[in-house]
Amino acid sequence: MNQPTPLFAEPPVPVVTGLAEMVSEYLRPEEVTMVEHAFELAARAHEGQKRRSGEPYITHPLAVATICAGWHLDAQALAAALLHDTVEDTKITQHEIAQQFGRQVGELVEGLSKLERMEFQSEQQAQAENFRKMLLAMARDVRVILVKLADRLHNMRTLDAMALDKQKRIARETLEIYAPIANRLGLHRLYQELQDLGFCFLHPHRYQVLSKAVKAARGNRRELVGKILNAIRSRLESQGIEASVSGREKNLYSIYTKMAEKQLPFSKVLDIYGFRILVKDVPACYLALGALHTLYRPIPGKFKDYIGIPKANGYRSLHSTLFGPYEYPIEIQIRTVDMHRVAEAGVASHWMYKSSDASLNEVQQQTHQWLQSLLEIQTENRDPVEFLEHIKVDLFPGEVYVFTPKGQIKSLPRGATCVDFAYAVHTGVGNHCVAAKVNNELAPLRTVLKSGDRVEIITSPDAVPHPAWLSFVASGKARSHIRHYLKTRQFSESAELGERLLNHALRSLQVDPASITRERWDQMLKGDRAKTREEVLAEIGLGRRLNLVVARRLLQGHELPPAEPRSTRPLVMIRGTEGLAVQLATCCRPIPGDPIIGVIKKGQGLVVHTHDCKHIRQNHPGADEWIDVEWESTPGRTFEVTLRLMAVHKRGVLATVAGAFSEANANIESVRQDPRETGAYATINFTISVRDRNHLAEVMRVLRTLPEVVRIARVEG
């Protein structure tokens, strides 16, 4: 398997000489001796142990120490890197290490050791506790995470020796935890290599295909890239700006995530190459930006000033995307040499570059603040799983993390709403949610949440999921539960309605519905597309089958006793709370007290209209299509009605009318006024909630007593 090119060359075996040469370049002689002593102890401790690849085990801690030496970490960190597996895998104790190398080395090794001697309820809890321990040790000494990242980098480079299931688990863990930590600490090169290695083992086929495509594109675009490089250098030189210009290629995982997020084929990903300009100081950065904006036209909205507003990990640079030759998009980064050091090495630049540069101090300060926040979180969250979820808020800015009223964190996809949050809490909460409080303020259920929001869901036992929720939920869990509920509820309601319709058809044929036996149903279902009686009834309720046709099929070849005399009671009683199988028409908006008629609409079920609705007479003129329906004596809810009101156009009229609605115990759902009206009178549409027709008459009577109201009428639809 072709793997990404390593950041640091791995020393050959034996490698102690190579490591000694590296560290002797920046460590004092006595510190080099300490590192060599640590190697000797590690070599004795791991003697006879082999890695999965068959190599001597000592090659691993030696490779980790070599990577750390590339960051110019101090002797204590290098000793800990060489000894990081001894406490875990050999008889050497932390106490012995502390005695020989000092307390700090002992604590570093302890922070790097796993908690294998403790028992956990699940693998997830064990992983979370290991991360909690490591991150807390990191908060006390950032060298812990630097050695751990070097350890993970070497493990990823040699991961092909592991079984496939372990490869995928470790690769996913690297992409989810270690790569984001490297990014959070500003270790950009390490971040990219961990991403590519994780991608390589988690999706090997995709990695190979994309790698070949990039290599092919590299050859095809070589001439274009060279042309752009020459043009940039010439323009900067003509403006008297000293700069180092280089082309760079996006890492494979970055290209892959862009393709996945934007649903693009590789041929449509044009910004595979970028260009980096290094200048001497900050003013030169902005001068170079201006020069390049006059060379190529900038793309609107694609400029980021990370010098004026640095990233949380201390990254500083100017980013801009330009229209290059043939409208080819060019991504440029402009920064100083010192900014580039920080961008490449992040917090490790503290050891690599011993200077008083302000940007390095700023990185240390920001890292220190973040690490201290870990300790603060720990004091409030003893549960390791919850602690890890809190840490992810910082590590994954691409996702949304919101808090429950009790302080628990829920991870949601970007664009998630209050409904997504409700289902993340519990399916029952999602199914019965009616409103939400976001940061202690009432908010609609479709409100899009931001990381850090505190969300409280208000529920009602009578509330049910609404089909409209599917238009704005972002999480697969919410979408799945809503669809399942609606499908199940529609089926049960449609089956209930279908049974009533079928019984009506049987009675019209002078047959008692109770005389239809299971054997009759079994005979009818032979060769039918429906497998059960309930499926047939649901199709009748949804208008996909005619009740009379099903009734005649049930009666084929049988004589049945006559039915009881037909009742004068209407076929279907309407309460208004039936849901999906029985719907109130939006064209006439019937309310209790209105004379009503029903019609079966294919795929929707029973739709109830007012008796004089123009729509039902135009689209269903045949009276044989109509179904007798009647209101229950005690409807189960309020109903929306729209009133068109003409009033005197003067200040305060809306407040006066709103007061009248309140006096009549009618809730205003919405108000709409034609903004073009400028005369003496204004026409306003109020959508209100009323109990029935008598309540509506009372509301209209109260409104007519207002001197400001000239005319009032009920609006159909």
Task: State the catalytic residues.
Answer: 88-89
Torsions phi, psi for 174 (to 5 deg): -65, -45
Dihedral in degrees, nearest 10, Cα atoms 379, 384, 388, 389: -90
CA distance 301 to 308: 17
Residue 712's DSSP bridge partners are 645
- CA-to-CA separations, 430 to 133, 240, 414, 427, 447, in angstroms, rounded: 35, 63, 18, 5, 15
**How many other C-beta atoms are found inside a 10 Å radius of the C-beta of residue 337?**
11
Instruction: Tell me the angle at which helices 59-70 and 143-157 cross, rounded to the nearest 10 degrees.
Output: 120
**Which residues, 6+ apart, have CB-to-CB distance to 212 below 8 Å?**
none
Structure-block tokens of residue 282:
């900050």
CA distance 75 to 665: 79
Residue with token string 């089956």: 495
H helices within 114-203, ranges in order? 123-140, 143-157, 164-173, 179-184, 188-202
Torsions phi, psi for 683 (to 5 deg): -105, 125
Structure-block tokens of residue 49:
């142990």
436: helix, strand or coil = strand
- CA-to-CA separations, 255 to 268, 399, 493, in angstroms, rounded: 11, 19, 49
- CA-to-CA separations, 75 to 7, 139, 356, 452, 624, in angstroms, rounded: 21, 20, 22, 40, 93
CB 453 within 8 A of CB 403: yes
**Which residues, 6+ apart, have CB-to-CB distance to 210 below 8 Å?**
252, 255, 256, 266
| 29, burial (CB in 10 Å: exposed 0-12, middle 13-18, buried 19+) | exposed
Structure-block tokens of residue 78:
């290098």
Residue with token string 């795929």: 603
CA distance 111 to 89: 15
Quick one: which of 549, 494, 545, 555 has its CA closest to 521? 555
CB 255 within 8 A of CB 210: yes
Torsions phi, psi for 13 (to 5 deg): -100, 130
Structure-block tokens of residue 567:
């009742």
In the Cβ-directed half-sphere of 645, how many Cα atoms lie within 13 Å? Answer: 31
CA distance 637 to 576: 7
CA distance 500 to 537: 9
Cα-Cα-Cα-Cα dihedral sign, residues 153, 157, 161, 167: positive
CA distance 433 to 443: 12
H or E element: which one contains 360?
Answer: helix 358-380
**Sheet of strand 639-648, all strands in order from the earlier edge strand to the far edge:** 667-673, 681-690, 639-648, 709-715
CA distance 696 to 700: 6
